[in-house]
A and B are shown apart, each in its own frame.
Chain A
Amino acid sequence: MAGNSQEYISHHLTNLAFGKLPEGYVRKHVGENGHVETHTLEHSEWTIAHSKEEAAAMGFNAVHLDSLGWSIGLGLLIMWIFRSAAKRATTGVPTGMQNFVEMIVEFIDNTVKEAFHGRNPLVAPLSLTIFTWVFMMNFMDLIPVDVLPAIFGAFGVHFMKVVPSTDVNITMGMSLTVFAMMIFYSIKVKGISGFAGELCLQPFKVSNPVLQAVFVPINLFLESVALIAKPISLALRLFGNMYAGEMIFILIALMFSAGAVLGLLGGVLQWAWAVFHILVITLQAFIFMMLTIVYLSMAHEDH
């Protein structure tokens, strides 16, 4: 935990980015003697970013190895757990892990049955995936903030942001997929004209065709904003909550280096915030799932 607090915080909030640095980019290294050495790239180069600035210079041609890695890893873990439970699923008496998995499945099944009024075999497994996966990604927040970065740091990995849901790419990736499904099912269920009608003929509806024509652009504008706000709010809600939670954990972690009294206080605060956060991570996972179900249910409703 070297350096001042600003550096510490900023270090914790930087992703491990692998991307393409453009031609002519000037890379800076801090040498052994503390001098800053620079060298200019002659060709564009795929590499791991050594600083925030390098990551920013990569633009869209970069992948957050940590976010995506943890995300895929946690997803695989969940799928493995559920798949092994599914393989062992019998009509006999369930035990242990089987029981736990079936409890979750039943909970999701009931929630979907209550909230989703269409017929679609995709929604329940989608909800299960979202709930468990988002929960696991959020759960990484409860691991003390310095543990995993320290372990990876020992292997020479400079940046490690272990909570994938504090990366807006991850949450946005999920919400955009949900958004694509909303559009797809809206068109599939209502037809293109039905979907367009939903966008253009609400909320202002009049019987006079001329007056209606005037209202169409206004309706379209309002409905488009409402439609686009859905995936964005979905992604930013999860991201914002997790980012803020992570931030507070980092700030509490700062207290550990500020003397015994503050350190002890920090320990208590960390524990308290972690307990509170158990609620938050579950709730956020549930909200993400619930809103997905509701949005898809709306997409399936034909007026």
Chain B
Amino acid sequence: MNINATLIGQIITFAIFVWFCMKFVWPPLLSAMQEREKKIADGLDAANRAERDLELAKEKAASQLRESKEKAAEIIEQANKRANQIIDEAKETARAEGERLIAAAQAEVGQEVNRAKEALRKQVSELAVTGAAKILGKSVDASAHAELLNTLTEEL
């Protein structure tokens, strides 16, 4: 158990190692560890947040799906309604058109009848005049007997 200069040597060595450790070992190690700790904590936070976000997104997707289904159903219903309407309208238009055509045809027939009547009347009056002239033996002065002829034509 000799106490000698080894003591001094050890004191100096110790001091140097402690200084070295304080300067070059402890700070970088600890700061790296603390930074990593923070990173891990942040990562866990982010994971939690992402999970929550995912939940929300799922809910949103489900509600959107429901909504779109409803909308699709609505659209189909509207389309059906519209189709029925169009059919009804087409029916109505067809009927109206038919009626119109019938009316037009009837009017034309009427006109034709009138025209025929008129022609007939004219021919009858001519015949009547011709007949009368034959009977009287002389030609009937049209202008002189115009009034009479007209009256005759009216009556026919």
Contacts and interface: CB of A to CB of B under 8 A. Distances in A.
Interface of A: 15, 17, 19, 55-56, 58-64, 67-68, 71-72, 75, 78-79, 82-83, 85-87, 89-92, 94, 101-102, 105-106, 109, 121-122, 124-126, 128-129, 133, 167-170, 172-174, 176-177
A71 B13 contact: yes
Contacts of A129: 14, 17-18, 21
A284 B32 CA distance: 30
A206 to B, nearest CB: 40
B21 A172 contact: no
A90 B33 CA distance: 8
A167 B26 contact: no
B40 to A, nearest CB: 9
Given A67-B6, A91-B35, A106-B33, A168 B1 contact: yes
Nearest to B32: A89
Helix, strand, loop or mixed for chain A's interface?
Answer: helix
Given A91-B35, A169-B3, A172-B7, A125 B25 contact: yes
B36 A91 contact: yes
A64 B25 contact: no
Interface of B: 1-11, 13-15, 17-18, 20-22, 24-26, 28-30, 32-33, 35-36, 39
Contacts of A78: 17
Listed from nearest, the 9 A-B pairs whose CB atoms lie closest are A173-B10, A89-B32, A169-B6, A125-B22, A125-B26, A125-B21, A86-B28, A62-B4, A64-B6
A89 B33 contact: yes
Contacts of B13: 68, 71-72, 75, 173
Given A58-B4, A63-B4, 13 more contacts: A60-B4, A61-B4, A62-B4, A63-B5, A68-B6, A79-B17, A86-B28, A92-B36, A101-B29, A105-B26, A129-B18, A169-B6, A177-B14
A169 B1 CA distance: 8
Helix, strand, loop or mixed for chain B's interface?
Answer: helix
A17 B14 contact: no
7 contacts: A79-B25, A102-B33, A125-B22, A126-B22, A170-B6, A174-B10, A176-B11
A62 B29 contact: no
A228 B65 CA distance: 82
A62 B5 contact: yes
A174 B29 contact: no
A109 B34 CA distance: 11
Contacts of B35: 91
B22 A121 contact: yes
A10 to B, nearest CB: 13
A89 B29 contact: yes
B9 to A, nearest CB: 5
Contact of B7 (A91, A109, A133, A176): A176
A83 B28 CA distance: 9
A152 B11 CA distance: 26
Contacts of B24: 83, 86
B6 A173 contact: yes
Contacts of A85: 25, 29
Contacts of B4: 17, 19, 58-64, 169
A216 to B, nearest CB: 32
Contact of A62 (B2, B15, B20, B36): B2
Nearest to B6: A169
Contact of B18 (A86, A91, A126): A126
A138 to B, nearest CB: 15
B20 A79 contact: yes
B70 to A, nearest CB: 50
Given A82-B21, A106-B33, A177-B15, A87 B28 contact: yes
B5 A61 contact: yes
Nearest to A64: B6
A86 B8 CA distance: 29
Given A91-B36, A169-B6, A86 B25 contact: yes
Contacts of A128: 21, 25-26
Contacts of A167: 6
Nearest to A67: B6
Contact of A56 (B2, B5, B18, B26): B2
